Amino acid sequence: MQAIRSILVVMDPQHPEGLALKRAKLIAGVTQSRLHLLVSDKKGDHGAWLNDLSSSLGEEGYAVSTQQAWHDNLHQTIIAVQQAEGCGLVIKQHLPDNPLKKAILTPEDWKLLRYCPGPVLMVKTDRPWTGGTILAAVDVGNADDEHRTLHAGIISHGYDIAGLAKGTLHVITAHPTPMLSAADPTFQLKETIEARYREQCRSFQAEYDIHDDRLHVIEGPADVVIPHMAHQLSAVVTVIGTVARTGLSGALIGNTAEVILDALESDVLVLKPDEVIAHLEELVAQR
């Protein structure tokens, strides 16, 4: 996170309290990043409002640029600007969609998480981060290169946020429930599944310096256990990753990041591994 040089802050004139901007100022205060304020709107002129914001932020010592733009829809506008400006982080306030609308149309915030090549911080609450718990969710059972790279990014960002917020990093990993039909006997008994995950966790803990009391190995689907643990710990930020690519399977299945977005009571930082970022950048460039 220290390497971030510019932050794209999605501004909403209808919600001028600016929760996304509050988080951006906190991060920029530590990383010295430039703030690029974006209003994504094809109607109305918000130039005066953006100029006022820019002036007041400049007086507070922040480097600021502003823009109003529109490219077909909200998520494509954000992604186009993120790529053009080279922003290393996108921050947006998340407002839950109407459940009926969500059942028919894929929410814009889901599309942003799915297609944005860069990390996305969805701000859900106005709770201060200072002194809070940061929860990083990993899948220790997946040790392929893509997941290892993703895990390194998740833990690194988790430690960075805990450092700037003077908070505490906790880590959660979910393991599957027993299945009598599983071909591998290890996955037929709860005790053997948990023992296997605990064993895998030992090297993971040693690599990332995670103490036993900060690691939570829980049985169940990730989209259920992550929000539950975040609630139990009163987490202020949950850091999760996605390896889901674009395409029909991703559209039909969705992924954990999208499914738990509304279930979590904390802010949510979503990361992707380098291979997925490169793939998405290629798609953006082809438009």
Greatest CA span in the chain, whole angstroms? 66
Decide the pairing of beta strands 120-123 and 267-271: antiparallel
167 and 273 inside one domain: yes
Q: Please check whether residue 107 lies inside any domain of the structure.
A: no
What is the pTM assigned to this prediction? Answer: 0.88
66 and 140 inside one domain: no
172 and 67 inside one domain: no
65 and 147 inside one domain: no
Q: Average pLDDT, stretch 67-72?
A: 93
Q: What is the mean pLDDT of the chain?
A: 85
Q: Would you say residue 126 has pLDDT above 90?
A: yes
- Contact (CB, 8 A) for 38 and 70: no
Q: Average pLDDT, stretch 241-258?
A: 56
> What is the identity of the amino acid at 41?
D
Band (103; pLDDT cuts 50, 70, 90): low
Q: Of the spans 70-74, 141-145, 166-170, 194-198, which averages the highest pLDDT?
A: 166-170
Band (3; pLDDT cuts 50, 70, 90): confident
Q: Please check whether residue 192 lies inside any domain of the structure.
A: yes
- Contact (CB, 8 A) for 136 and 239: yes
pLDDT at 115: 87
Band (2; pLDDT cuts 50, 70, 90): low
Band (248; pLDDT cuts 50, 70, 90): very low
In total, how many domains does the chain have? 2
193-229: b (≥16 Cβ within 10 Å) or e: beebbbebbeebbeebebeeebbbbbeeebbebbbeb
Band (8; pLDDT cuts 50, 70, 90): very high
pLDDT at 5: 92
CATH of the domain at 188: 3.40.50.12370
pLDDT above 90 as % of the chain: 52
DSSP category for residue 96 = P
Q: Please check whether residue 137 lies inside any domain of the structure.
A: yes
pLDDT at 143: 72
Q: Please check whether residue 246 lies inside any domain of the structure.
A: yes
Q: Would you say residue 24 has pLDDT above 60?
A: yes
Q: Provide the residue range defining the domain that includes 229.
A: 133-286
pLDDT digits (tens, 9 = 90+) for 250-278: 443 346 777 788 889 999 999 987 666 67
- Contact (CB, 8 A) for 9 and 50: no
Per DSSP, the residues of 139-208 read -TT--SHHHHHHHHHHHHHHHHHHHHTT-EEEEEEEEPPP-TT-SSGGGGSHHHHHHHHHHHHHHHHHHH
Q: Would you say residue 80 has pLDDT above 90?
A: yes
Question: Minimal CA–CA distance to 269: which of 244, 246, 235, 245?
Answer: 235
Q: Please check whether residue 193 lies inside any domain of the structure.
A: yes
138 and 49 inside one domain: no
54 and 191 inside one domain: no
Q: Please check whether residue 203 lies inside any domain of the structure.
A: yes
Q: Average pLDDT, stretch 134-142?
A: 88
User: Of 78-82, 88-92, 166-170, 260-264, which gets the smallest average pLDDT?
Assistant: 260-264
pLDDT digits (tens, 9 = 90+) for 35-47: 999 999 888 899 9
80 and 142 inside one domain: no
